[in-house]
Amino acid sequence: MRLVSWNCQMGLAAKRDLVAALSPDVLIAPESSERDILGDAHASSAFWTGDNVKKGLGVLSFGDVALHRIEPHDRDIRFVMPVRLVGPIALTLSSKVSTCQNC
């Protein structure tokens, strides 16, 4: 599984080909717009959080990997969005725990 974290500095749409060249199963995109994340037609699932629709935290999955948002979580911690990845490997990404099951 390939995890890519890229602070796209509010320019994900212009860098989409560069991201695609990395062939991520999961993309974590700080400073991404809500439209760039939720409007990605190639993603198998996507979540976004933030105070400004032009600059927040996005997480996308591709191919056989699906994302499930973990609720409830501590919303006092800004720009944290715990998600569970389901696919060839099950993985939980959060602010406090990162666990690989059945690895």
The tens digit of pLDDT for each residue in 16-64 reads 899 999 999 999 999 999 999 999 889 999 999 888 999 999 999 999 9
Burial of 44 (0-12, 13-18, 19+ CB in 10 A): middle
The helix/strand/coil state of 3 is strand
Rounded to whole angstroms, the Cα distance separating 32 from 4 reads 14
pTM of the model: 0.84
Q: How does DSSP classify residue 54?
A: T
Q: CA-CA distances (angstroms) from residue 53 to 34, 38, 79, 96? A: 5, 11, 13, 26
The more confident residue out of 18 and 81 is 18
